Structure 1
Amino acid sequence: MSCLFGFDVGTKVVGVAVGNRLTGTARALAAVPVRDGEPDWQTLDALRREWLPAELVVGLPLDNDGKEQPMTRTARRFAERVAERYALPVALTDERMSSQEAARRFAAGRAAGTRKRSDAKSIDAEAAAVILESYLVQA
């Protein structure tokens, strides 16, 4: 029951990460496409069945002043939908700077030779891992 999912919600891709409350760690899992405003629910359903998370964490995009912006509504809507679909608790957490940290990690991996340019599509999943790690530190 210590498994959690983290989500970085975007208009084209939803990044998914898996984390563990006991270890306080998270890792990128998948970048799920969004089409016509809808995430690929079949892929999300399959990930849920495989990992059986007990809780979901959705990154809440706020502007630099901590105020809501248009993407905030998109993330809130996604959070409502996954809560209803999976009947699991959903936490919303400030995701400011998660994309920058994910990009920094990706660049460091490229410099170390552990990441390839073709891995760039997984940066959204890495952002979800950053969101989930931030949540776990606060919890």
Structure 2
Amino acid sequence: MRDNPWDGGLTFVAPDTTTYDQEAADQIGLDPSLVYKTLLVSIDTKTLVVAVVPVGRQLSLKALAKAAGGKKANMAEKALAERGTGYLLGGISPIGQKRRMDTFVDRSAEALHRLFVCAGRRGTEIELSPADLQRATNARFYDLVS
């Protein structure tokens, strides 16, 4: 299905792309519903949380705020996202962040045998099961896309 010389499920994409997750889906030759993007969101302007959603879908900020027990959600500023995770924008992984944040994964992932998320560097994706992602991040599954 994919031509990957690397062990451990890592797949590399051209580093000069600006749509990292979509580019990864295209280059790996996968249905975009298997590739998930990692988004950092501020809940009630005080708490950062992680949202993991399919690349072809739009995060519902209202749904995420509700899932996180807040009233309002906004996309985190670039500097705040990078400082909070230790990753550069476009390379933010839901795994291995600088400090653990509440993580919410779109419920669509539960039906998958495997999915791909950013491995912590622009253009690098890692393949894992939704259960492994949940264990690694203490994630909760919710309906997060509109």
Give TM-score, length-normalised by structure 1: 0.30
Q: Which has the higher contact order (CA 8 A, sep 6+)?
A: 1
Give TM-score, length-normalised by structure 2: 0.29
